[in-house]
Amino acid sequence: MPRLSIIVPHRHEDSRLEATLLSLLENRPDDSEIIVVHDGSYSDPYHLVDEVIFIEEERSSNTLKLLNAGVMAACSPAVCVLLDGATVTDAWSEAALSTLLESETAAVAVAVQTSRGQTSHGIDARLLNRPSFAQAGRVEVSSPRTECIGPVLACGFYRRKVLLALGGWNEDLDEQAADVELALALGSLGLACQCDASTLVSINAAQSRKLTSPAWKQLASLVAAHGLVTPGWGNSLKSLLGGCLQGRLFTAASWAAGLRDASTIRRTQLRMNHARQQFPGDSVQQSLRIHREHSSSANPSRRAA
């Protein structure tokens, strides 16, 4: 059984995937498997089937569904998510993987640097008590000295069983909000995330996060679902008026709509309720210890996931 499963989701742009695969194969960690989950758009022109596990999902699959399928197919107790377009260097995974497997940490965030030199060190822990950070779009940590509660979507290390217990990434969310939701779940449950600033991953993107209107709306629903702000029309109108006075009509309108989105708020709460049931008892750390000591055994049948 490999120690690490590296999951790369892929849709449409083959050049991004091939850049990622080239760097991975040149700097492949010992005792690891590389899983590419794609939407049927990749034909493996370089015949990498002996080195890479290719899993084909439905053509309509979004990135989050591909990631979840990769987690189901993985055979390792630890998984690393790496979006296509990301590149790695020599010994890139050693420190993060050691931190994950040799402690009771649920996830490890790494430094992710964009093509313009902007670096993220995970999802900011201050979101749990300062919803104004989410309302301002300040969801990522820019310094390794700031506490994080989860990795960003571009790259992160996780215990596979923890991801399964949490239900993976919410496939109904925008990609720009899904990692925030998972991080809020980790933080709310007391599942620790550490940042390994020594690991640097580069991503072929101008900026780490570009929040669309749906993502702004979903961020509001997420913080409301976690009880950090009060949902409903009253707070929605207050947020809208405040945003307009500050000249932020676009984001204020999306945020206000999210506070009224009872469906997303309710689904998020149900996901959290399910996750809490997966970690019963007084000690989340004890649950993590159980997850660590009973890592998954290899199961070839999962390859069809």
Q: Each residue of 212-235: pLDDT tens digit?
A: 999 999 999 999 999 998 988 787
> What pLDDT is recorded for position 250?
79
pLDDT of the residue at 236: 82
Q: Average pLDDT, whole number, for the chain?
A: 89
Yes or no: say if 76 and 1 are a contact pair by the CB < 8 Å rule. Answer: yes
pLDDT score for 245: 65
Count of CB atoms situated within 10 Å of the CB of 192: 17
Can you tell me the mean pLDDT for 116-141? 93
Of residues 289 and 47, more confidence is placed in: 47
Alpha carbon distance, N-terminus to C-terminus of the chain? 18
Torsion sign, CA atoms 237, 239, 245, 249: negative
Query: How are beta strands 53-56 and 32-38 bridged, if at all?
Result: parallel
Give residue 246's Cα distance to chain centre: 31
Burial group, residue 18, by CB count within 10 angstroms (0-12, 13-18, 19+): middle
Of the candidates 1, 8, 149, the residue with the CA atom closest to the CA atom of residue 71:
8
Task: Please list the residues that pair with 200 across neighbouring strands.
Answer: 111
Angle at 192 between CA 187 and CA 195, to 5 degrees: 105
Report the pLDDT value the prediction gives residue 293, as an integer from 0 to 100.
Answer: 47
CA–CA dist 4, 29 (Å, integer) = 8
